Amino acid sequence: MHELAAAQDVLKVVLEAAQAQQAQRVTAISLKVGRSYAIDRMESLIAALASGTIAEGAKLEIESVPGPALVVESLEVE
């Protein structure tokens, strides 16, 4: 279940960054995710949690990296 908490944290960071940029929509999110997370599970959780937010439908790019990392590398907004 640590993927759920991690996905919630990612979405919170993304939405706060988008709000700071006064974005209308998040179109892409790039993440670096440690191998201790199940990437397919993270992907589906983030997509589900983003439903109804300005990040809904954003393209999600996830790079698997060694260790416990979970980093929002970048995001694209409109």
pLDDT tens digit at each of 78 positions of the chain: 589 999 999 999 999 999 999 999 999 999 999 998 999 999 999 999 999 999 999 999 999 999 889 999 999 999
Structural domain harbouring 15:
2-77
Please report, as a single letter, which amino acid is at residue 49: L
CATH number at residue 10: 3.30.2320.50
User: For the whole model, what pTM was predicted?
Assistant: 0.93
How big, in percent rounded to 5, are the helix, strand and coil portions of the chain? Answer: 40, 30, 30
Judged by DSSP in three states, 7 sits in helix
Largest CA distance in the chain: 34
How many folded domains does the chain comprise?
1
- 67 sits in the region (left: phi over 0; alpha: psi -120 to 50; else beta) called left
Q: Is the dihedral of CA 56, 47, 20, 32 positive or negative?
A: negative
